[in-house]
Amino acid sequence: LGVLLCCPVFLSFLHLTLVATDRIQPSVIRHVRSWSNIPFITVPLSRAHGKSFAHRSELKHAKRIVVKLGSAVVTRGDECGLALGRLASIVEQVSVLQNQGREMMLVTSGAVAFGKQRLRHEILLSQSVRQALHSGQNQLKEMAIPVLEARACAAAGQSGLMALYEAMFTQYSICAAQILVTNLDFHDEQKRRNLNGTLHELLRMNIVPIVNTNDAVVPPAEPNSDLQGVNVISVKDNDSLAARLAVEMKTDLLIVLSDVEGLFDSPPGSDDAKLIDIFYPGDQQSVTFGTKSRVGMGGMEAKVKAALWALQGGTSVVIANGTHPKVSGHVITDIVEGKKVGTFFSEVKPAGPTVEQQGEMARSGGRMLATLEPEQRAEIIHHLADLLTDQRDEILLANKKDLEEAEGRLAAPLLKRLSLSTSKLNSLAIGLRQIAASSQDSVGRVLRRTRIAKNLELEQVTVPIGVLLVIFESRPDCLPQVAALAIASGNGLLLKGGKEAAHSNRILHLLTQEALSIHGVKEAVQLVNTREEVEDLCRLDKMIDLIIPRGSSQLVRDIQKAAKGIPVMGHSEGICHMYVDSEASVDKVTRLVRDSKCEYPAACNALETLLIHRDLLRTPLFDQIIDMLRVEQVKIHAGPKFASYLTFSPSEVKSLRTEYGDLELCIEVVDNVQDAIDHIHKYGSSHTDVIVTENENTAEFFLQHVDSACVFWNASTRFSDGYRFGLGAEVGISTSRIHARGPVGLEGLLTTKWLLRGKDHVVSDFSEHGSLKYLHENLPVPQRNTN
């Protein structure tokens, strides 16, 4: 395609598709292809112009958008020719937004690079055939090509660039029009009105204007002649052009794509460079700019100045990377959706720290926490337990506000999760004191000692994981539990709670920080209160070491999908089974089924599928189970085998792999214990599975062969819980097979490191002719305090 686009015959063929129009002075306009046949999509996008968006989440309301494509985005790495793959992706994204009912405009570079490719090709073709034939291939490649003047390249490349855009936009039934401008078009009042009217008319007709400086005639830019104020911005490059166009057309959003991820606090590539998520007017004094772009006229400093000028004019701005589609994804649509991409320019500074700053505070606070004595960490947790009971009235008042605001918006099971009570707070306090007691030798505990050689001893000791991100829904009681576990294990903690529990979470976090303050580590636990999306938090791989989701199976799946390079500990579903064996006790079955299903149906450890041995059908035991479920108002779904035994069966289950989270239960029939195990392995989620039987051999077979995190005999599924296991509390229940499995308490939040103590030991001493030999002797490990 690159060769074809250099071919005059092919370009002439493309030009036949262009629709001729009258020339509108002073701009050159060419309408492309035919009128779009995709109907307009009416969406609530319009807003009063004059004030930029304060938060990224508001960008989805942008109606009129300018996308500026820098030279580095449009051109190939060799600066000679266009990056066709990137352009195709950009055109697709712009087309998607245009067909949503938005008004899209492009400010594009690339004419000079495209013209340079064409002119070089023409020069090579004009060489004598004899010279080409008598020159070797390498000599041909090294043939001297004169330096090409930029204006001539622009003149040769404009038509081909527009033809390429034409061909691409036509694939989405979208019409485009080219407009070439110079500085005079903005400074001459009549020409400015003409340009403004032309652009508005094109947008009204659902046409995408493609704007570029007329580099074939534009004079060289004068230094320091632009960006001196709101009304005097000269167009010396496409950055200033895009800013001027955005303000002139009262656009909602300007997206500037370049070859860097956004704005850094120091030149990209330097050791300490950090991407700035949000940039505010006045911050430019603290930023060091690097060199200009590898191609084009502008650098990052020019982009920032143009962005601030546009922001002052009421247009929101995002600077992002448009050169790596595999890394940045659909960068344009991601920005419009409010995702954390690039640097967002905002005039509204948040009251508190950014989530990046909170991550750094949690990191440093966690390291200080890990250096405290075990008694000091336990003292913090005891103090937090006391605060939960002492400040009970304030906590319950805040929780009451959450419940009142959630009434009518949340389902009954979620409201139950959201609710706090005196008994819940008392149970929390008891659990926290258990954690404090078990934390005495958690961090720094020696697991293994080995004498490698004489005076060379190795130890493996427990250490905190680092910074944990815990995301939880409708569960304010989760906050002090997780905080206590993080404190006990010496980990920094970022908490992201659901907005439905905002009042409860706020006071519980304040109490947590009050407890931490007694030993000067207040910042170790942070509550994220900004409008950060969960997906954006999952991208902070340099700040977060482990993500622990606490909530619905959908939340867990979304986080597992969104996490980029950060391990996620949790379970996607809690499909818990109970198998009632043919030798089950009549007295035990109904109690176990009732407790597992009805005690708290919204919990992840609630029973979801009841497997019945076929010999129990039409027996008093089976009738008792069904009667109990009816009394408890449990809706029954029949599995395929169970339905085949019944003349009039309940509604047949849609899927045997369903977590109901409510008073609903699937009943299925199995032939024996092996059949039950096979069913669990096929349809279960490796969470918690139970057998009810009086036959010890059958029970042991079940316990040993079911591959789940928790496997019980004659016990309710609801025992799958950190508090009930004696762990004090849990950060969640993990069904993964690496690091931690089942209810994850204090032990699951620790990892290890190796300590080697020597005396001038070097590896060469242990070589074949060395003076030392490896001993590898196991040494006794200090006994753990189990009180």
Are 116 and 257 found together in one domain? yes
Instruction: Name the residue with tokens 């057309």.
Output: 249
Are 606 and 714 found together in one domain? yes
8 Å CB contact between 27 and 176: no
Report how far residue 599's alpha carbon sits from residue 190's, in angstroms, rounded to the nearest whole number: 77
Report how far residue 354's alpha carbon sits from residue 367's, in angstroms, rounded to the nearest whole number: 20
Report how far residue 359's alpha carbon sits from residue 340's, in angstroms, rounded to the nearest whole number: 16
Q: Which residue type sits at 384? A: L
pLDDT of residue 85: 85
Report how far residue 127's alpha carbon sits from residue 400's, in angstroms, rounded to the nearest whole number: 85
The answer to the question of residue 38 being in a domain is: no
The answer to the question of residue 772 being in a domain is: no
Helix segments in 1-81, DSSP class H: 2-5, 8-15, 71-74
Identify the residue with better confidence: 288 or 252. 252
* 678, 702, 730 - which closes a domain: 730
Q: Which residue type sits at 6? A: C
What CATH number has the domain bearing residue 386? Answer: 3.40.605.10
* 295, 315, 345 - which closes a domain: 345
Return all residues near 756 (Cβ < 8 A) that are at least 6 apart. Answer: 452, 456, 457, 458, 459
Q: Which of 273-282, 330-339, 379-388 comes out lowest in average pLDDT?
A: 273-282
Q: How confident is the model at residue 74 (pLDDT cuts 50, 70, 90)?
A: confident
Identify the residue with better confidence: 673 or 537. 673
The continuous run of DSSP H or E covering 319 comes out as strand 316-321
pTM over 0.95: no
The answer to the question of residue 570 being in a domain is: no
Are 475 and 623 found together in one domain? no
Identify the residue with better confidence: 357 or 351. 357
Express each pLDDT in 284-294 by its tens digit: 666 666 555 44
The answer to the question of residue 133 being in a domain is: no
| Domain enclosing residue 271, as ranges | 56-128+148-218+231-345
Asked whether residue 38 carries a pLDDT value surpassing 60, the answer given is no
Asked whether residue 177 carries a pLDDT value surpassing 90, the answer given is yes
pLDDT of residue 42: 39
Q: Within the chain, how many helices (H) and strands (E) appear? A: 28, 26
Q: How confident is the model at residue 133 (pLDDT cuts 50, 70, 90)?
A: low
DSSP string, 23-91: -BTTBEEEEESS---SPP---S----SSS--SSGGGGGG--EEEEEE-HHHHB-TTSSSB-HHHHHHHH
User: What interhelical angle do 300-312 and 238-248 show, nearest 10?
Assistant: 10
pLDDT of residue 25: 39
Report how far residue 131's alpha carbon sits from residue 143's, in angstroms, rounded to the nearest whole number: 10
Task: Quote the tokens at residue 220.
Answer: 């060289």
Report how far residue 730's alpha carbon sits from residue 743's, in angstroms, rounded to the nearest whole number: 6
Are 473 and 542 found together in one domain? yes
pLDDT of residue 706: 96
Asked whether residue 615 carries a pLDDT value surpassing 60, the answer given is yes
Q: How confident is the model at residue 206 (pLDDT cuts 50, 70, 90)?
A: very high
The answer to the question of residue 741 being in a domain is: no
Are 386 and 474 found together in one domain? yes
Are 538 and 419 found together in one domain? yes
8 Å CB contact between 340 and 356: no
Q: How confident is the model at residue 736 (pLDDT cuts 50, 70, 90)?
A: confident
Asked whether residue 539 carries a pLDDT value surpassing 90, the answer given is no
The CA angle 299-80-73, to the nearest 5 degrees, is 40
Are 167 and 313 found together in one domain? yes
Identify the residue with better confidence: 216 or 330. 330
Domain total in the chain? 3
Asked whether residue 218 carries a pLDDT value surpassing 90, the answer given is no
Q: What is the mean pLDDT of the chain?
A: 83
Nearest to 235 by CA among 301, 187, 299: 187
CA 12 centroid distance within chain: 46
What CATH number has the domain bearing residue 322? Answer: 3.40.1160.10
What CATH number has the domain bearing residue 696? Answer: 3.40.309.10
Query: 617-620: long-range contacts at Cβ-Cβ below 8 A with a sequence spacing of 24 or more?
Result: 617/645, 617/669, 620/586
Q: How confident is the model at residue 368 (pLDDT cuts 50, 70, 90)?
A: very high
Sign (positive or negative) of CA dihedral 686, 687, 692, 696: positive
Report how far residue 157's alpha carbon sits from residue 149's, in angstroms, rounded to the nearest whole number: 12
Q: Which residue type sits at 542? A: K
Rounded average pLDDT over 639-649: 85
The answer to the question of residue 2 being in a domain is: no
pLDDT of residue 22: 34
The continuous run of DSSP H or E covering 291 comes out as none
Rg of the chain, C-alpha, whole Å: 34
Report how far residue 158's alpha carbon sits from residue 179's, in angstroms, rounded to the nearest whole number: 11
Rounded average pLDDT over 140-162: 70
Rounded average pLDDT over 497-519: 95
Residue 714: φ, ψ to 5°? 55, 45
Express each pLDDT in 224-240 by its tens digit: 444 343 344 445 577 88
SS3 544: coil
Residue 594: other Cβ atoms inside 10 A: 18
- Percentage of the chain beyond pLDDT 90 is 50
Asked whether residue 459 carries a pLDDT value surpassing 50, the answer given is yes
pLDDT of residue 561: 84
The answer to the question of residue 359 being in a domain is: yes
Identify the residue with better confidence: 161 or 114. 161
Q: Which of 21-25, 140-144, 266-270, 651-655 comes out lowest in average pLDDT?
A: 21-25
SS3 405: helix
Rounded average pLDDT over 487-493: 95
Nearest to 44 by CA among 310, 330, 252: 252
8 Å CB contact between 668 and 656: yes
Are 551 and 599 found together in one domain? no
Q: How confident is the model at residue 41 (pLDDT cuts 50, 70, 90)?
A: very low
Are 686 and 590 found together in one domain? yes
Report how far residue 112's alpha carbon sits from residue 71's, in angstroms, rounded to the nearest whole number: 9
Identify the residue with better confidence: 172 or 530. 172
Are 341 and 380 found together in one domain? no
- Percentage of the chain beyond pLDDT 70 is 83
Are 512 and 589 found together in one domain? no
DSSP string, 442-507: STT-EEEEEEEETTEEEEEEEEE--EEEEEESS-TTHHHHHHHHHHHHT-EEEEEE-GGGHHHHHH
Name the DSSP class of 218.
P
Tell how strand 732-734 and strand 742-744 pair up: antiparallel
Report how far residue 125's alpha carbon sits from residue 554's, in angstroms, rounded to the nearest whole number: 61
The answer to the question of residue 435 being in a domain is: yes
Express each pLDDT in 415-431 by its tens digit: 888 999 999 999 999 99
Q: How confident is the model at residue 135 (pLDDT cuts 50, 70, 90)?
A: low
* 533, 562, 591 - which closes a domain: 562
Q: Which of 77-81, 484-488, 540-544 comes out lowest in average pLDDT?
A: 77-81
Return all residues near 496 (Cβ < 8 A) that are at least 6 apart. Answer: 469, 470, 471, 472, 527, 528, 532, 534, 537
Rounded average pLDDT over 381-406: 95
Residue 226: other Cβ atoms inside 10 A: 22
pLDDT of residue 220: 55
Instruction: Name the residue with tokens 């004169």.
Output: 146
Identify the residue with better confidence: 489 or 128. 489
Asked whether residue 546 carries a pLDDT value surpassing 50, the answer given is yes
Rounded average pLDDT over 687-714: 96
Asked whether residue 106 carries a pLDDT value surpassing 90, the answer given is yes
Nearest to 181 by CA among 150, 204, 223, 209: 209
Q: Which residue type sits at 668? A: E
Rounded average pLDDT over 119-141: 59
Q: Which of 267-281, 352-366, 432-446, 626-640 comes out lowest in average pLDDT?
A: 267-281
Asked whether residue 179 carries a pLDDT value surpassing 60, the answer given is yes
Are 117 and 165 found together in one domain? yes
pLDDT of residue 210: 93
